[in-house]
Every structure is written in C-alpha cells, then in structure tokens.
A and B are shown apart, each in its own frame.
Chain A
C-alpha cells in the first residue's frame, strides 16, 4: 500500500488519537498521543490490510537543543514493518520533560523488552508495565542517562564489582514455575 492508503486506513478507527502526519523522504510518520500507544499498536498489528508484524527499531531522542520547537523534550519513534504487504511506518510520540512515561508494548513484540530497556538506560524514559526495567548497556552503578544532551561526554564512572544477575534469574525461575 502506498502512504496515502495507509494513513486513510489508520484514520478509519483512530482519528482522535492522531495529532499529525507527514511524509519525509518517502517514509510515512504519524504523530500520536502517548496515552493511545497500546490501542494503535494492537490495531496496526492485527488489522488484515495493515499487518505490521515486526518492530524494527525504537529510537529515543532528546530535543532540548534542537533548533525547531517540538511539543515535548523527549521523542520516541517506533519503526514498524510489514512483511506480507511490504510497507513501513514510523509512529512518533512526544513526552514532557518532567516524568517522561509511556506504556510498554512488550507483549505485542518480543524484542520490545530489550529495546525499551535501552531507551530507559540511555535516555531515561520510563515504560509502565515493563517486567524488568533495568540498565542494559551501562553498568549497574552508573548514575545518570548518558545520551541526554546535558550529560558531558567525558564524565567517567568506575565500576567496583560486576552484576550478580540473581534477581533476574529468580524472576525467570518463578515464571517457569520451578521455584515456589
């Protein structure tokens, strides 16, 4: 489907959640409200004409030093792709500076689990309902969120001892029903 049909199909059910949409370099970007992320993602995934089965990437952006004014300090871009119909879309969300929070979509796409952990680690965006929101790229004694624009690049932080991982392991064993 080309971009015009895509946006018309999305508008059928969710006209009140869409704030804005535009096309950039041939790629359709849809800006939505943060509260309706779960409804829109489930509609995009299950509708027969759209069928976006794969979450390609989750990009977290800090717009505080951007020359154009955006409706919030933080932005998220969910890149989705459909294998059966061969089209792509990017869903964008803007979050405010104090307490940036959004619902997690880890039950729709299995790789969203780690992608959201990375967004929390690097940018500090909280995902409500995530089973295991802890650091993934930086070490566990790291303070701050390094990809924000106010974190200086050469503030180094030493680590004293490696992570135990037993808390994650206990959760996993409980999920499998092996202990308690």
Chain B
C-alpha cells in the first residue's frame, strides 16, 4: 500500500513590495565565476544586473570535463568502474551500480540474492550521504551554518562503515560486473542499524532548526518557482521533479532489484520552489532509512558473485586443480569481459534523478562507446530561467537546491 505525503506550506509570504516604477537603463555585468565560494564546483554564470535584480543570465559549464567517455573506450569493462566512481563523487556506489547493471543486461546474467540486497543497502546509504551534503551546503549558503556540522558529523560515521566495507571513503570501486568485490565484514548489520538512528536524529535536528524559522521560510518559499510542464520539458527527474508535484520515482514505476517488495513512500512537493526542493530531500532520507532497515532483515548468507563463466573468476581450487579452470581464469584476465555485439540503455534512480548509461559493444574487450546520461546536466540547463527576475542572493540559494555535481555535469 503506497501513500503519498504532501508537504503543507504556509500561505503567508514575505509581503515585501519592490519598487517597479523606477526607470533605469544602467545594466551592470557581474560574473559569478568558476572559482566562487558557494562550494558547488566549477560553474560559471554571467549575470546582467539592474540594481540588484538579475535581468538576464547566461550559464557556462565544462570546466571539469575530464574525458570520461573517451577514456572508457581504451579500458576494459572492469577498469571503467573506477572512472564511474568519480562521476557523482558524493554517491559513488550508485554510479558503479548503474554501469554494472547495464553491462549485466547486455550479458543477460542475474546476480545472486545477497548481492542484490547489499547493493540496495549501500545504494541507499549513498543516497543518504548525498542528500545530507546537498542540504547542509545549501543551508550554509542561506546562512544557517549549524546544520553543516550536524550533517557532516553523521557523514563521518557512514564513511567509517563504507571504509571498512570497500577500502576507501569516497571513491569506493565496490561493485563488480556480476556481483560485489568482497563480502561484508562481521558486525556490519549492527553498525548500520546504529548509524541509522543517528541519521534520524540529525535529520530531526535540522528540521527543528528550519521548519518554523521566519528567515528560512522567507528566503526559500516562492523563490525560483518552476512549473511542471517546464520541468518535464527540461528533462528533470528525481527529487527536483517530485518537488513540482508529480510522484514519479523509478523505484516504483520501473522497479529493479526487488524494490517493489520494499515498503516506502514517495515524497511529493506542491509548488516547485526552493523550500520544496530542500524538504523533499530531507524527508527522503527518512524513507531511505526505512528501506535499509527492511533490507537488513533480508540479508541471508549466500554467494556474492554470480558463477557465470564469462565474468566470474573460478574458485582457486579449480584454477589450480583442472585445466578448464585455468583456461577460464586466463581468458577472463587477459581478454576481459566480451559482451555480444549490441547496444543497450539502462537506468537507475540515483540521488539526483535518472542516471542512465548507453553502452555500445563491438564484441571486444573494450566498450565501443559509453554515454552517461547525467541528471545534473538537465537540472543546470534550467538554471538561467530559474534565476532571472530574482536577486543574486536567491541565485546562490537556488544553485544549491538543484544539486549540481560538477563531476557528473561535465563528465
């Protein structure tokens, strides 16, 4: 049974009237350059100001274009996975899952149950830390500095868990094509349950500080409103689209990895302004915690890697025992994974929206073409429309709500 939660807003807005009868023809150009303190990476906006209001804005990107797609064409499939880590570096495991899922679809292999459940748990943990950074840094831009510490302290605890599991805090490289790279450590379930309680506490504190705060409400309600038709036309998906009033979540509409058997709600906003976008993310953290708790109950012992001979290394007893195991091992290491000659487009619901990979294989060990569909690109394309007519301070606050990660935007 699925229930929708609608955020109720206060109807009262600030009521400040700006003078509209002043005739001025002075336009000043201010460049909010690639190196700026809003902590959101290398984005550049050239604004034309009339007083303090922005009359026209031009956005530029590409300052972090690192050539991910061309690099994938000269590396075997397994070696492309560290490159996908650095796309959305705040939720690295979700990018790994997106890429591995597309290659597994090409090969037609299904991963074992335990691997599916651990993928769901780590994906939801990554979604939580991405939303915490987005909300924390966004509130710093608005001026509410205390929430930054609340969200970052909890993130350090999640990083401890991820470090024990994967080996690295940020760029995890945990997913392999066909399953996972290593199993969980003893004590994993208890630590995840403890950190879930601390996450809920931190979210509660952030909510208590902001939900009735007059300054916060004045700065975010009815600011940078976008209509539902415009949002769909720009290709928005994820929390930014759900804040405009439609309950479109790929985990419910086109489910994968047994998401239809988990019980969670889809958070929907009403107006499509900054307040909705921030609060949709905050409430989604609670839904992710619900999913993690349900998934932990399903964790049963079992294999973590499929035993399909095309992708999985054979157990050592076969590698050293008989000639077929040795040949299998040799072929996978030297010639890599070789999917059949085809094209596939596969997608997952990442923390920003629909993250898709279009992979073309020519039958060899290197992909012929990899294209990543970044959700931040679609969000940023609407940015000039969002800020025109507002003030510069609102522009900086809006930049935080649409959660642009420069690594994913420029690839």
Which residues of A pack against B, CB within 8 Å? 24-25, 27, 53-57, 59, 61-62, 65-68, 77, 79, 83, 86, 90, 109-111, 113-114, 122, 135-139, 146-147, 153, 163, 165-166, 168-169, 172-173, 176, 178-179
Contact = CB atoms under 8 A, between A and B. Distances in A.
B58 A83 contact: no
B149 interface: no
Given A61-B369, A114-B377, A138-B65, A56 B344 contact: no
Given A57-B371, A147-B70, A169 B360 contact: no
Q: Is the interface of B mostly helix, strand, loop or mixed?
A: mixed
B369 A146 contact: no
B56 interface: yes
Interface string B55-80: 11110111001010111001000000
A178 B378 contact: no
Contacts of B362: 65-67
Given A59-B358, A173-B56, A178-B55, A110 B29 contact: no
Interface of B: 27, 29, 31, 44, 46, 48, 55-58, 60-62, 65, 67, 69-71, 74, 105-106, 230, 232-235, 246, 248, 253-254, 341-345, 354, 356, 358, 360, 362-363, 368-369, 371, 373, 377-378, 381-382, 384, 388, 410-411
Contacts of A53: 232-233
A111 B232 contact: no
B62 A68 contact: no
Contacts of B363: 67
A136 B62 contact: yes
Contacts of B235: 54-56, 109, 111
Given A111-B233, A169-B48, 5 more contacts: A53-B233, A61-B360, A137-B61, A137-B62, A176-B56
B55 A165 contact: no
A110 B234 CA distance: 5
A172 B57 CA distance: 8
Contacts of A111: 233-235, 377-378, 381
Contacts of A62: 369
A56 B55 contact: no
A165 B60 contact: yes
Contacts of A25: 105-106, 342, 344
A68 B341 contact: yes
Contact of A110 (B105, B230, B254): B230
14 contacts: A24-B344, A54-B233, A56-B356, A59-B358, A62-B369, A77-B358, A83-B246, A110-B382, A111-B381, A165-B31, A173-B48, A176-B55, A176-B388, A178-B48
A154 to B, nearest CB: 10
A151 B240 CA distance: 37
Contacts of A137: 61-62, 65, 410-411
Contacts of B371: 57, 59
B248 A83 contact: yes
B46 A169 contact: yes
A56 B369 CA distance: 18
A79 B237 CA distance: 14
B373 A83 contact: no
Contact of A163 (B60, B71, B381, B411): B60
B104 to A, nearest CB: 11
Nearest to B65: A137
A109 B233 contact: yes
Nearest to B364: A67
